[in-house]
Amino acid sequence: MTGKLYVVGLGPGNASQLTPEAEEAVRNASDVFGYGPYIDRIPERAGQQKHASDNRQEIQRAEEALRAATDGKTVAVVSGGDPGVFGMAAAVCEALEKSPGQWRQVDIAIIPGVSAMMAVAARVGAPLGHDFCAISLSDNLKPWSTVERRLELAATAGFVIALYNPISRARPWQLDHAFEKLRGVLPGTTPVVFGRAVGRPDERIAITQLAQAQGGNTDMATCVIIGSAETRLVERPGTTPLVYTPRGTSRPAA
């Protein structure tokens, strides 16, 4: 008998941003697989087995989850944010693609969540208010030249850019190179937002301009949003400005 595999988005990390269907899928699973810090967010439950793994082991984690579901278990694989945005949904599909045939009979349900870029955007205003893109800055799975080309085309197109996986111990220089690349296309005054661990106790938000932007204080829990040439601030007395991108533009495309 074949079980069920839920691929679940836990949202940014605050229980008030976890959807009821995601909460239910995790609660009902006999086995939960995920990257350690995401697994740590899940309350202990009698009879539920947690399987924490390292963040580079996505395919192996997906395979273990598919194997457990094929054995008849009700399994949840969890991602932070949305599982379809640089999360476990693609890893599960990849594992299935090269899998033994019986894994393909697992009943799979993907449960979306609030993605990090949306949570960060909400904290500062509406920087994603117009056309935008999301780019993983990791060059573990694609050439760095491809990342640079995408940054350049995205800025030229007028997209606001959300960067995921901006930096890690093994990839310390890429974010500063990305800023440098973008300074060749966008005004130095373009707003840049660093949103770390939004909705969690260690949340940290910083707003700067592209000319001054530096990767130094960033880590893997940070989502970086770089405006388009239209993105700007609305000052407010006694509180932080709002960062936003207007809904329309009369600017002709480059």
Among 26, 42, 69, 92, binds its own copies (CB under 8 A): 92
Using rule CB under 8 A, residue 186 touches its own copies: no
**Nearer Cβ to its own copies, position 206 or 242?**
242
The answer to the question of residue 191 lying near its own copies (CB under 8 A) is: no
For residue 151, what are the CA distances in angstroms to 54, 144, 183? 28, 11, 11
Cα separation values, 104 from 2, 58, 62, Å: 10, 18, 13
**Distance from the Cα of residue 91 to its chain's centroid:** 14
How many CB atoms are located within 10 Å of the residue 85 CB?
21
How many other CB atoms sit within 10 Å of the CB of residue 251?
10
- Choose between 52 and 133: whose C-beta lies nearer to its own copies: 133
Examine residue 18 and tell whether it contacts its own copies (CB under 8 A): yes
Q: Which is nearer to its own copies, 140 or 208 (CB)?
A: 140
Q: Is 153 in the site for its own copies (CB under 8 A)?
A: yes
β-pairing, 31-35 vs 132-136, is: unpaired
Size of the site for its own copies (CB under 8 A): 85
Minimum distance of its own copies from residue 253's CB (angstroms): 3
Give the one residue of 29, 69, 91, 186 binding its own copies; rule: CB under 8 A. Answer: 91
Q: Residue 79 forms beta bridges with which residues?
A: 9
Give least dist CB 213 to its own copies, A. Answer: 20
Binding positions for its own copies, 216-235, rule CB under 8 A: 234-235
Longest dimension (CA), the chain: 63
Residue 21 or 50: which CB sits closer to its own copies? 21
Q: List CB contacts of 153: < 8 A, sequence separation 6 or more.
A: none
Among 27, 56, 149, 200, which residue sits at the site for its own copies (rule: CB under 8 A)?
A: 149
Residue whose CB is less far from its own copies, 32 or 106 = 106
Q: In whole angstroms, what is the distance from residue 221 CA to residue 216 CA?
A: 14
**46 touches 7 (CB < 8 A):** no
Sites for its own copies among residues 99-138 (CB under 8 A): 101, 104-105, 108, 110-115, 118-119, 121-123, 125-136
